[in-house]
């Protein structure tokens, strides 16, 4: 990679999560809600920046109070918002999210259509995307046109410019017309990614098998990949590279809210990979990078809300040293 290119460009949705003021209740039972900035790609960009890295976000927001608030949050957190455009005719997406007493998350989305779905290929900040060392994205931006075409074009631009493509499907079944459509579209771009991260739930969804054994995970491996990761919550992470594979345990912490922990993991790992791309071929270096990412995810789960709980590098190193 030419020079010291360390920019991580995140593509996709940024929205407002409305979270109940009381834990362990359904959305209907919640007495009131607090607003929290969210959206997995935006969380990843802020995670990279919080760790001292260079990050940018590409996406569309409503030209409304919430949209302007979210753009300001990106800038306030050191993320380049030069790829953000505003839509005067559509609102910023909203999501009501709650952690039920059984620990499951419940989502209700307001996006029909929201501004993020209306990003067009012509609105892409091409020069910004071309500067990426890593171009990171999810699958929510594949659900509807014109955003889907913008997403595919952005991937092409980044790949042609020499970026690594990083994919975290971040499955949200409620947003897709059907499970079949979700599976088809998520896998439609599978072969193009260099780095793919899935959760246990996504692994089962995509393979149809409720197991995290190697013979199941390997069904998602492609010869074009450099790294495939399966995150196992507080059990850590399994990794598969071209010449080696293994598992890295997580850190024991008191979990409060797991929202954003996967995004923190992604951001931390991408930060380490752009600092030293050779870690994708060096098992010792990769294990250290994943350990750092696990610690970042663990810390994020100890506090409420995604963005406020994303740690600094100092906090991550302190947790690793204590363990």
Give the pLDDT confidence score for residue 175 in this predicted structure. 95
Q: How far is CA 213 from the centre of its chain?
A: 24
Other residues' Cβ atoms within 10 Å of the Cβ of residue 288 = 16
164 occurs within a structural domain: yes
Tell me how many domains the chain contains. Answer: 1
Q: What is the mean pLDDT of residues 25-29?
A: 90
Domain extent, residue 316, equals: 7-14+38-92+111-322
pLDDT tens-digit map of 260-309: 999 999 999 999 999 999 999 999 999 999 999 999 999 999 988 889 99
Q: Is residue 100 part of a domain?
A: no
The model's confidence at residue 98, banded by pLDDT at 50, 70 and 90, is: confident
Give pLDDT, residue 2.
44
pLDDT tens digits along 104-114:
778 899 998 99
Q: Is residue 227 in a domain?
A: yes
User: What is the predicted pLDDT for the residue at 1?
Assistant: 39
In the numeric block, which tokens belong to residue 135? 């171009």
Asked whether 45 and 314 are in contact (CB, 8 A), the reply is no
Q: What is the mean pLDDT of the chain?
A: 95
Least confident stretch, 21-25, 31-35, 86-90, 182-186:
21-25
Residue 181 has pLDDT above 60, yes or no: yes
Confidence of residue 3 (pLDDT cuts 50, 70, 90): low
Query: Does 32 map to a domain?
Result: no
Is the per-residue pLDDT at 245 higher than 60? yes
Query: pLDDT value at position 257?
Result: 82
49 within some domain: yes
How does pLDDT run across 60-96, given as a tens digit for each residue? Answer: 999 999 999 999 999 999 999 999 999 999 999 999 9
Would you state the pLDDT for residue 78?
Answer: 98
Tokens 């994919």 belong to 167
Please report, for the domain that includes residue 195, its CATH number: 3.40.1190.20
pLDDT for the residue numbered 103? 64
- Identify whether 30 is part of a domain: no
Exposure letters 212-229 (e unless 16+ CB within 10 A, then b): eeeebbeebbeeebbbbb
In a domain, 31, yes or no: no
| Contact predicate 261/231, CB 8 Å | no
Residue 116 has pLDDT above 50, yes or no: yes
* Domain assignment of residue 102, yes or no: no
- Percentage of the chain beyond pLDDT 90 is 88
- pLDDT given at position 204: 98
- Expressed in angstroms, the distance from the first to the final Cα of the chain is 34
Residues annotated as part of the active site = 263
């Amino acid at each position: 990679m030419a020079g010291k290119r360390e920019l991580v460009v995140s593509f996709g949705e940024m929205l407002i999560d409305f979270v109940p003021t009381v834990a362990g209740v359904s959305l209907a039972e919640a007495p009131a809600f607090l607003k929290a900035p969210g959206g997995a790609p935006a969380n990843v960009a802020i995670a990279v920046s919080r760790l001292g890295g260079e990050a940018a976000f590409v996406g569309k927001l409503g030209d409304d109070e919430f949209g302007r608030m979210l753009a300001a949050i990106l800038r306030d957190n050191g993320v380049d918002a030069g790829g953000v455009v505003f839509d005067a005719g559509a609102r910023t997406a909203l999501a009501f999210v709650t952690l039920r007493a059984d620990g499951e998350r419940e989502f209700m989305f307001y996006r029909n259509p929201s501004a993020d779905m209306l990003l067009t290929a012509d609105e892409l900040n091409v020069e910004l995307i071309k500067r990426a060392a890593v171009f990171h994205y999810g699958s929510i931006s594949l659900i509807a046109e014109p955003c889907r075409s913008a997403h595919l074009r952005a991937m092409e631009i980044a790949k042609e410019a020499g970026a690594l493509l990083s994919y975290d499907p971040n499955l949200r079944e409620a947003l897709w017309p059907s499970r079949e459509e979700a599976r088809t579209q998520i896998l439609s771009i599978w072969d193009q990614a260099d780095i793919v991260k899935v959760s246990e739930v996504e692994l089962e969804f995509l393979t149809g098998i409720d197991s995290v054994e190697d013979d199941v995970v390997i069904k998602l491996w492609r010869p074009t990949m450099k790294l495939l990761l399966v995150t196992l919550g507080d059990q850590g992470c399994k990794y598969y590279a071209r010449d080696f594979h293994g598992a890295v345990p997580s850190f024991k912490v008191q979990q409060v809210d797991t929202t954003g922990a996967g995004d923190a993991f992604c951001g931390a790992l991408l930060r380490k990979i752009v600092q030293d791309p050779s870690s994708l071929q060096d098992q010792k270096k990769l294990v250290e990078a994943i350990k750092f990412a696990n610690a970042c995810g663990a810390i994020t789960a100890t506090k409420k809300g995604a963005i406020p709980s994303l740690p600094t590098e100092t906090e991550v190193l302190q947790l690793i040293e204590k363990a």
